[in-house]
Structure 1
Amino acid sequence: MNQQETASLPVILCVDDELNILKSLTRLFLSKPVKLLRASSGQEALALLEKEKVNLIISDMRMPNMTGAEFLAQAATLQPDAYRILMTGYADLASTVSAINVGKIHRYVQKPWDNAELLKHVDDGLEMYRLVKANKELTTKIAKQNKQLKELNHSLDEMVQQRTLQLKKTIQQYKKLAETRGNEQKATLEVLYNIISINPALNGKFAQHVAKTCANIAAIMNLSGPEKDLMNKAGLYSELGKLGLPSHCLSTPAYKLDSSERKQFLQHPQLAEEMLAPAVHLHTLSEVIANQFERFNGSGQPLQKVGTDIPIGARILAVARDFWLAVYQQMNSKSYTRTEAFEFIRMQKGTLYDPDVVAALEKLIKNNIDSFDKNIQDGLHVEQIQVGMRLSQNLYNRKHMLLLPKDHIFCDKTLSNLIKYQSKHKEKLLVQVEPFTIKEDSDEE
């Protein structure tokens, strides 16, 4: 057996002052895969325990100078995991019990012993030692892992806090970016509206009428806030594609166009779709405008969509647009009142127009909700506006071009620009602002 194999064997220490007992124990364990140590006294055995790691100790009780119980008590201090067996020739139960308490032994065996029984006790003792050692190793490992886990949890907590701060910072940056982009996109649309308004063949007032009617119909039909906003935009930009039509198609009322010109005229929604194509975020708006000439019965342009296959926004836009075209004398030579214009729309519900949208327009007319064209008489003059006030409605000039959008907060520069505008264009502006919006801390700057 080589040195490495010997080192892995369990170690048994036999202690007895009688040499023949030690020889008997040596013969007994000769066939066992163990490393056997022998000592003839307690002092000699303690010296061995100082040097050798022992799994199991067998000690005689009656020895000179130091009893087995006294030796095992000290052995328990030196190597507490070692399994301890006391061999005694005494039949006195009281002395045996005392020896068990003093020596902290695990088992005692009476002399003369039975070899098979002693070997069984040794096997049990070695197994007990293995289990105790394994348990301690496992406990140590668990304690180490718990410590590592605690450190890891602490690190994770710090990491989570750092990630949370980073995430909050990223969200704030995203919000600022989104707000900036949103303002840029809004400004782009406002410029498009002014391009429509400034064209002498188009009409910003008409676009405003259609926009408000679209938004009000959407509200009556319980569409969401974003959908109402979409409908307002769809009304404002429904004629955007007309900028790509020949001048005679713009200057001539639609009912006066010949078949060739009318076919060309009906392509303006697709021209608008092409114009808006680079603005991916306006895809939904583009889709509504592109489908505005589809008809509920499938007779429309360009894809002959039927019923609810047509986007709801396009169905609303078609009704609002044609209602105001009738009022603006663009549908035929007859001049319609609003009531007559609605009757013109109602007669074609289910064929050209969605019946639900027509019903919503009827509620709008009956409740006189759509009053956009009323002149605003309760606005403030520019000279009455103070820094910090907020616009409650879009500010348009007399040509219906947008000067400032709703929710704009006035500053010194804005007011100065408006005063210059009035002087240059000889036009007095009336401005609607929200009440009680003056900044209380404006004088702290």
Structure 2
Amino acid sequence: MQAGTPAEVHSAKGAALLIVDDEPNVARSVARSLRARPFDIHTAHNGDDALEIMGHTTIDLVLCDSRMPGMDGPTLLREIGQQWPGVMRILFTGFDDNAQTIKAINEGRIFRYISKPWDEQILLEAIDQALAFQSLERDRARLLQLTHEQNEALHHANATLESRVEQRTAELSAATAQLSVANKALKQSYVTATELFSSLLSQRLPPSRKTNEAVIRLVREFCARKKYAEKFTDDLVMAAALYNVGKLTWTDPLIALPPETMSFEQRQRYREYPVTGERLLLPLEIAQDAAHMIRHHQERWDGTGFPDALAGDAIPLGSRILKLAVDLVEIRMGMVASRKVPLEELLDSLPEYAGRLYDPVLAEDFVQMVREREKIARRANESVTTHTTDSVRPDMVIARNLLAQDGMLLLREGTVITPRLIAKLQGFEENEGVRYTLHVLNPSLKPEVSDDAPE
């Protein structure tokens, strides 16, 4: 695929979009949001009309309302997924449509849902990401087909082949290269899907409960420290990104409640979230191993955990690591008890629970890793200053990721500030009614990096 952003790639192709909403004004409003892009827009006001359009028109992406008379959105998207599996599917849903959203994820296999009223920028980004994901899947299928055809050609050549050994070797090398490209494209698709699901979680959870990014960093660093296999690391990172997906079925007050203050009924609901998370992810083939880790990440080494009361080595290795990371982050944030526990106090007390809550060997290595990273962070903080968008200056370098209120990544660590970026951030502040704090490197430590602006 040619270099460029998803928007550049797919705008050039003029992708065909179908907007389905029983309210014509809403369908027109969505179409207006897309007017700056050269999309081929089609509209339908019910499920039957949408299926009729799909039957005689090539559609790349469907944006569908959740609640419609007759055939609802999840049912329509499930039907489209069965008949046209390559078509990307995005659901518009109300804030309280949890049941509809879960149905769409399980049955309609949607790429993403967007809450009404939608943010135009988020809508455009979701469409670009969906079309980019679709392009990767199409490229992967094409490359796999090409590899299959080349293998068939090699098999045919092998029957006649002593005089063509050189040609056979060259063709085999080409096929291997193509397969490598296909595997890279497939892995990127998995990464994209994980990031989107994690972003979905962050948009639902309140700021005090956005734990996924911190948990991901801990498990990724621990896997690198222990030199675990790449496949295991990828699965564990996916589990860290999605471990609390089961909480999407909760009400907002329950999400904000520490377990120690819950009623008996609420605690029973709390104990179900690992199983709910596994059930939501099992239909996704790429997430099966991560789903298994999520199911058991609240098990305890002594067998007193949930949901299955596993003990010792019977608990999957990924689940044991994930529990250490989740507990460290959630206890520090006051999500387990009503008091936020300082990191140093937590690290001092954690070994006391080794052999009861945690794998004793993993717990010792984990505490040592966190202490070492804190020492590094303290040294780094000595070279970091904080700024607002009014005080930051061009050529300064971002020292930590900058996130928006909804958890969306605005600036990556290492980004060089430009006047254009400052103007964009100030525009975001005005629209969201917030003030950002930017952590900036000492000028003497500025690396040679390029502008990484939020689109």
Question: Normalization by structure 2: what TM-score?
Answer: 0.51
Query: Contact 1:322 / 1:345 at 8 angstroms: preserved in 2?
Result: no
Query: Contact 1:396 / 1:404 at 8 angstroms: preserved in 2?
Result: yes
Q: Say which of 234, 243, 251 aligns to 1:238.
A: 243
Indicate the residue corresponding to 2:362 in structure 1. 357
Q: Deviations over 1:106-155 (max 9, x none)?
A: xxxxxxxxxxxxxxxxxxxxxxxxxxxxxxxxxxxxxxxxxxxxxx9996
Post-superposition offset of 1:305: 1.3
Indicate the residue corresponding to 2:403 in structure 1. 396
The CA distance in 1 between the partners of 2:257 and 2:268, in whole Å, is: 14
**TM-align CA RMSD:** 4.2
Letter matched to residue 219 of structure 2: C
Post-superposition offset of 1:423: 2.6
Indicate the residue corresponding to 1:156 in structure 2. 161
Q: Say which of 242, 245, 248 aligns to 2:253.
A: 248
Indicate the residue corresponding to 2:199 in structure 1. 194
Alignment of 1:348 with 2:336, yes or no, is: no
Query: Contact 1:196 / 1:203 at 8 angstroms: preserved in 2?
Result: no
Post-superposition offset of 1:235: 2.6
Indicate the residue corresponding to 1:93 in structure 2. none
Post-superposition offset of 1:314: 0.7
The alignment partner of 1:347 has SS state of helix
Q: Deviations over 1:170-220 (max 9, x none)?
A: 333323332322222211111112112222436575222222222333344
Post-superposition offset of 1:438: 6.4
Query: Contact 2:400 / 2:439 at 8 angstroms: preserved in 1?
Result: no
- 286 and 370 in structure 1: CA distance in 2 versus 1, 3 angstrom threshold: farther
Indicate the residue corresponding to 2:428 in structure 1. 424
The alignment partner of 2:267 has SS state of helix
Letter matched to residue 332 of structure 1: A
Post-superposition offset of 1:300: 1.6
The CA distance in 2 between the partners of 1:191 and 1:370, in whole Å, is: 32
Post-superposition offset of 1:273: 1.4
Query: Contact 1:294 / 1:301 at 8 angstroms: preserved in 2?
Result: yes
The CA distance in 2 between the partners of 1:267 and 1:407, in whole Å, is: 40
- 287 and 403 in structure 1: CA distance in 2 versus 1, 3 angstrom threshold: farther
The CA distance in 2 between the partners of 1:247 and 1:310, in whole Å, is: 31
Post-superposition offset of 1:437: 5.6
Q: Say which of 176, 179, 200 aligns to 2:181.
A: 176
Letter matched to residue 286 of structure 2: H
Query: Contact 2:333 / 2:340 at 8 angstroms: preserved in 1?
Result: yes
- 382 and 290 in structure 1: CA distance in 2 versus 1, 3 angstrom threshold: farther
Post-superposition offset of 1:249: 2.1
Indicate the residue corresponding to 1:262 in structure 2. 267
The CA distance in 1 between the partners of 2:413 and 2:231, in whole Å, is: 16
The CA distance in 1 between the partners of 2:352 and 2:313, in whole Å, is: 20
What number of residue pairs does the alignment pair up? 280
Q: Deviations over 1:274-306 (max 9, x none)?
A: 222232122222221111011111122222211
Alignment of 1:318 with 2:329, yes or no, is: no
Query: Contact 1:394 / 1:402 at 8 angstroms: preserved in 2?
Result: yes
1:128-167 aligned at under 5 Å gives the runs 156-167=161-172
Post-superposition offset of 1:354: 0.9
The CA distance in 2 between the partners of 1:154 and 1:302, in whole Å, is: 57
Question: Normalization by structure 1: what TM-score?
Answer: 0.52
Alignment of 1:304 with 2:309, yes or no, is: yes
Indicate the residue corresponding to 1:212 in structure 2. 217
Identity of aligned residues (%): 21
Tell which deviates more after alignment, 396-405 or 305-314.
396-405
- 205 and 348 in structure 1: CA distance in 2 versus 1, 3 angstrom threshold: same
The CA distance in 1 between the partners of 2:227 and 2:245, in whole Å, is: 27
1:429-444 aligned at under 5 Å gives the runs 435-436=447-448
Q: What are structure 1's unaligned runs of at least 5 residues? A: 1-151, 440-445
The CA distance in 1 between the partners of 2:230 and 2:158, in whole Å, is: 45
Alignment of 1:287 with 2:292, yes or no, is: yes
- 228 and 383 in structure 1: CA distance in 2 versus 1, 3 angstrom threshold: farther
Post-superposition offset of 1:229: 4.5
The CA distance in 2 between the partners of 1:280 and 1:215, in whole Å, is: 22
1:11-90 aligned at under 5 Å gives the runs none
Query: Contact 2:274 / 2:296 at 8 angstroms: preserved in 1?
Result: yes
The CA distance in 2 between the partners of 1:371 and 1:400, in whole Å, is: 25
Query: Contact 2:414 / 2:447 at 8 angstroms: preserved in 1?
Result: no
Post-superposition offset of 1:262: 1.1
The CA distance in 2 between the partners of 1:340 and 1:385, in whole Å, is: 35
The CA distance in 2 between the partners of 1:244 and 1:347, in whole Å, is: 34
Query: Contact 1:190 / 1:402 at 8 angstroms: preserved in 2?
Result: no
Letter matched to residue 215 of structure 1: R
The alignment partner of 1:367 has SS state of helix
The alignment partner of 2:194 has SS state of helix
Query: Contact 1:328 / 1:335 at 8 angstroms: preserved in 2?
Result: yes
Post-superposition offset of 1:250: 0.8
Letter matched to residue 245 of structure 1: W
- 431 and 419 in structure 1: CA distance in 2 versus 1, 3 angstrom threshold: farther
- 169 and 283 in structure 1: CA distance in 2 versus 1, 3 angstrom threshold: same
Letter matched to residue 180 of structure 2: K
Indicate the residue corresponding to 1:273 in structure 2. 278
- 302 and 208 in structure 1: CA distance in 2 versus 1, 3 angstrom threshold: same
Letter matched to residue 199 of structure 1: R
Query: Contact 1:194 / 1:402 at 8 angstroms: preserved in 2?
Result: no
